[in-house]
Amino acid sequence: MSVAADILLAPDVRPFAVAAAIMVTLGGIELLTMIVGFSISELVGHDFALDSETHSTIGGLFLWINAGRLPLLILIILALGIFSIAGFWLQAIAHSASATMPVSIAALVAAGLSLPVIRVASRGIARIIPRDETYVVNEADFVGHVAEVAIGPLDQGLPGRVRLKDVFGNWHSVAARASPDSAPLPVGARVLLVDRDTRSFIAISAPTDLITQ
């Protein structure tokens, strides 16, 4: 155990170990908050790529790695993981050749190698992770839409999650809880979003005629 700790804390891999630790911490927090019906990624802006367009170089870089196509927190976790793997891989190659790569150079090379991998990986993840919002759809427009309970059951306590498509065919995952006069809505149930407050959408069981449309 001490040998593994010594390797992870060695000066030439310390930045990559720190990146891995931050990635695991953020991923763990996101997983735990999703279990209780709230996603920390909701607190992190989705439109960073658009805001960054005022700085063409930075904005172009973030657009290139698909910022905005998936939650920014997920992109950060992905980037930290890829950067960490690239750094450990580089230093492992250097050690196998009985050489030492200065940590600053290793970090720059790892960052350069990570960018195209992040671009490809983020594009793939964006296809399977539902997004809470897009640049052209306002979440308020989801009131009146039919959704499916993804994390629940929905009751009057902590919000769960429901999935629905917008008019452009994009999937969204939003927080929701049952209306005060509604029975608990189980996972897989089709629900109608009838209102929204500061915490979540309010849902009732979807009428049969809406489900069959």
The domains of the chain are located at: 2-128, 139-211
Residue 44 has pLDDT above 70, yes or no: no
Mean pLDDT within 30-49: 58
- What is the four-CA torsion angle of 86, 108, 97, 15, rounded to 10 degrees? -60
CATH class of 139-211: mainly beta
Q: Which amino acid is at 196?
A: R
Of 26-30, 45-49, 97-101, 174-178, give the lowest mean pLDDT range.
Answer: 45-49
Mean pLDDT within 24-40: 72
Nearest CA-CA partner of 187 in 147, 211, 163, 153: 153
